[in-house]
Amino acid sequence: MDNLIKDIDILPADEAQACEYKVTAEENTGKSKKLYIESYGCQMNFSDSEIVASIMKENGFDTTATFENADVIFLNTCSIRDKAEQTVRKRLQQFNQIKSNRPDLTIGVLGCMAERLKEKLLEEEHLVDVVVGPDAYRDLPNLVMAAEEGQKGVNTFLSREETYADISPVRLNSNGVSAFISIMRGCDNMCSFCVVPFTRGRERSRDPHSIVKEAQELVAKGYKEVTLLGQNVDSYKWSPEENNKARLNKKEAEHIQIVNFAGLLEMVAKISPSLRIRFSTSHPKDITDEVLYTMKRYDNICKYIHLPVQSGNSRILDLMNRTYDREWYLERVAKIREILGEECGISSDMIAGFCSETEEEHRDTLSLMDLVQYDFSYMFYYSERPGTLAAKKYTDDIPLEIKKRRLQEIIEKQNQLSLVRNQMDIGKYQEILIEGVSKRSEDYLKGRNSANKVVIVPKEDLEIGQYVTVKITDCSSATLFGEISR
């Protein structure tokens, strides 16, 4: 799989996550046309690209890992930071150079950037033929056909119902071990710095039975791990009535089964004890004790929670409209440690230099990091996004050099904490799931433990997809190293 995934992981920390992308894998089933997709940003985008590939496959397209061989090129985009959008623009310019010699080539922008910049991409910059938002992927075959006939194909309609629950994704770049399952779409949280509610629409949850069915199909194909995805998985809530799945009379309504996230976790965990379950992302205001006790009850639910804090200062959290304060967040962390133990992995997102942030408030973030002891974090300096509440209400008044210096202090703090947390694992025996070959040597394999930490072990006679118990012998701030326990 590594040769088909382009991970841009040797970049300044403020650029790395926004630029990370994956390309499509090669699939040859005899279809008449070739589709190439690059996916930028979050796991949800990667999952969406698998849905897109499935839709296009049903309409005469195989996927290709080489854009020179493609009839259609899609960029599935991210708008979370300006750097991500600039990266996509540069890529579009490169593809348009190819199109100058191949006028039959169709180029499309999908996802969040398409939703935010549709007019500019089509009319001002003339970089694309097709612009499609996250809720309109079913319309892609028609839009591509229109583009082939010389028209511009556009659909950025945001739906209150679309979940793509009936579409079986094509597993792009699959290692045959791990897969994403989208459980909900959109977001109702209006964090002042975030474009997601505007680019992905309102929150809606997917039918739990379709989620279980997809997980069962993956198990039947030999997959060993699924990650349940949503902008805010802890607010997952489904019932036949609330999700417009059925017209019910009063008597029927009395027996409606409402499934929350804890219930969904349990349903998936019961499919097979050999199927690992992960999930992302949790919102501190919504994660419940019920979810934590469900995680504790099932060994195959991984003991890891991505719990973005964004800032360690209550005033800044209020400006960000995160709807919790420092004390609330620390109470939730304390409850995680109480129920799941100190070995439960916790990671975070942090934003340095948000509007009006003082040095003392910045130090509150550093002190909160010391209290929580994060295993790892995604760290950025604030990047104002047009159309967000922060852009409308607040002045982006922290100079860039101060943002970068604060970010560097956060990075240095996290590196220290990651090393301490990893050193705690040395000498312990852990079960890991082998996912692939180490990037640095074919003599070693990589896997992950329950806490979502990468563990490197000697290859010996191990196979990808195998569970193995290892003794942790060494570590860096980013990686654990182990030996096989016989």
Q: Which has the minimum average pLDDT: 66-70, 101-105, 123-127?
A: 123-127
**What is the side-by-side order of every strand in the sheet holding 276-280?**
178-182, 225-229, 276-280
* pLDDT of residue 16 exceeding 60: no
Tell me, which fold does domain 429-484 have in CATH?
OB fold (Dihydrolipoamide Acetyltransferase, E2P) (2.40.50)
DSSP state of 286: T
Q: Which of 304, 319, 411, 399 is nearest to 359 (CA)?
A: 399
Q: Parse the chain into domains and list their residue ranges.
A: 2-155, 429-484
Q: Which of 230, 220, 215, 110 is nearest to 169 (CA)?
A: 215
pLDDT tens-digit map of 288-319: 999 999 999 999 999 999 999 999 999 999 99
Using pLDDT thresholds of 50, 70 and 90, give the confidence band for residue 484: very high
Which CATH number does 2-155 carry? Answer: 3.40.50.12160
Helix (H) or strand (E) holding 377: strand 376-381
pTM, two decimals, is 0.84
pLDDT tens-digit map of 339-378: 999 999 999 999 999 999 999 999 999 999 999 999 999 9
Using pLDDT thresholds of 50, 70 and 90, give the confidence band for residue 198: confident
User: Residue 98 CA to chain centroid, in angstroms?
Assistant: 30
Residues 6+ apart with CB under 8 A from 358: none
Predicted confidence at residue 90, as pLDDT, reads 87
The larger pLDDT score, comparing residue 109 to residue 334, is at: 334
pLDDT tens-digit map of 71-122: 999 999 887 777 778 888 888 888 988 888 898 999 999 988 877 777 777 7
Residues 6+ apart with CB under 8 A from 150: none
